[in-house]
Amino acid sequence: MSIAALKTRNRFEWRAVAPDPVAGLLAWLAAAVPFLLILMLAAALFQPVPARAAAEEDPACGGKDLVAGLQADNPAEYAKLKAEGDKIRNSGARLWKLEKPGQKPNWLLGTMHLSDPRVTDLPAEAQSAFDGAAVVVLESDEILDQQKAAAKLLARPDLMFFSGKESIVDHLTPDERKLLEAGLMARGMPLAAVARMKPWILTSMVALPTCELSRKARGMAFLDMKLARDGLAAGKEVKGVETLAEQMDIVASLPMSFHVKSLIGTVKYPQYTADMMETTLQLYLKGEIGLVFPAGAYFAPEKDMNDFKDMALFEEKLITMRNHHMADRGEPILARGNVFMAVGALHLVGDEGLVELLRKKGYTVTAVK
C-alpha cells in the first residue's frame, strides 16, 4: 500500500493507489503537532498534570517511531513511503538561509511546539544563527507573557466554550460519549467537568502525552517560547506575525464534525496518537518534514474516503492560508536583515510553504540543516 500526493490548487490530498481506499482518519494529528501552541496554552489552564517520574524517564512518552519500524521490517514499503515524502517541495531541512542583495542574511527555522529536550536543544548551525541575529520572529510574540496570553483567550469564551445549554455531549452518539468519558477519566477529568469546552480544547488535553504536559506544568518552555525568552534575555527584538486569537479563530472555523471526529479518534487510539507524536518528532529531527502527512495517513488505524475533504480543509485553513499571512507579515521585518524567523515546521514545505513563498518575494533560500 502506498500513498500518493495529489496537488489540487494549493494543497495536498492523500489517496491510496491500492484498491482499498485510504485516508488518514487521524493523520491531522501529525500535522497538528507544529501548531499546538494555542491549544497547549488552553490545556495548561484546565488540565491538572500529575507528576510522572517514570514517564519523564522515557523521552518518547510511550510512543514509538513508526517510520523507523517500517524501515526495519519492510524496506520496500518504507522506500515507497519515503518517495512520497521526497516529492514534497522543500521537505528536506528544518533550517534555511535567506539571502537578498543589500541585506544581511536571514534565517528560517521550522519548529515543533514541544518542550522535549530533543527539540529545544538546537543544532549547532541553528544556535549560531540565532545567537548572531538581531531580531527574532515567531508565530506570536504573545507567548512571552503566558498570563496575558491566557487572559486574551479567556476574553474570547466563544472560542473555548459552548454557549447556553449546549455541550460536547450534544454532538456525540451514545457510544462516542462512553468512549470520551472513559478517555477523559483516564486523564483524571470527569466529562461533566469539561463538557462545556469546545472539542478542540478537549483534544489538546488528551492528544499531548502526559510527560509533555508534565514538563510544561513544571515551567519547561517549548521551543518557540524558549527562543522568545532567550532572544529577549540577549537584548534581541522579538516580534510575532500572528495573534493567538487569530490562531484560535482559524481552528474554530473548521466544521464541528471535523473536531468531534478528531477528538473521538484521539481518545479511541491513544497508542497511535503517542506513536505519531514520536514519529513526527523523529522525522523533524532528521529534517524529513515532507514525510509527516504521508506517514500519518499510512499508519492511520481507520480509513475513510470522506477524510479527503477534511484533510484538504485542514491544510487549506491551518497551514496554507497561514503560510501566506506569515510570508506577507514577515517580509517587512526580514527586509531589515539579520533576522531569525521560527515557525511550525509544516509551514515551510510544499508549493505554498514559506520557503517557496519567500523565494517568490526575491530571496535566495538555501537548505542548511
* DSSP assignment of 117-156: HHHHS--HHHHHHHHH-SEEEES-GGGG-HHHHHHHHHT-
- Say how far apart CA 323 and CA 321 lie, in whole Å: 5
Average pLDDT over every residue of 227-247? 94
**What pLDDT shows up at residue 304?**
61
- Say how far apart CA 113 and CA 330 lie, in whole Å: 19
Could you tell me the residue range of the domain that residue 11 belongs to? 3-367
Instruction: Average the pLDDT over each of 18-22, 208-212, 245-249 and give the range with the smallest value.
Output: 18-22
Asked whether the CA dihedral 70, 16, 300, 369 is positive or negative, the reply is positive
Could you tell me the pLDDT band of residue 54, with boundaries at 50, 70 and 90?
very low
Q: How many domains does the chain have?
A: 1
Query: Does the pLDDT at position 41 exceed 70?
Result: no
**What pLDDT shows up at residue 43?**
44
DSSP category for residue 303: B
For residues 201 and 93, the model is more confident at: 93
C-beta of residue 121 within 8 angstroms of C-beta of residue 223: no
Mean pLDDT, the chain, as a whole number?
82
Over residues 185-215, the pLDDT tens digits come to 887 889 999 999 999 888 877 877 778 777 8
**What pLDDT shows up at residue 5?**
37
* Phi/psi at 197 (5° precision): -75, 145
C-alpha cell at 266: 484521539
For residues 360 and 248, the model is more confident at: 360
C-beta of residue 244 within 8 angstroms of C-beta of residue 149: yes
Predicted TM-score of the model (pTM): 0.86
**What pLDDT shows up at residue 16?**
32
- Say how far apart CA 73 and CA 15 lie, in whole Å: 23
Query: Does the pLDDT at position 34 exceed 80?
Result: no
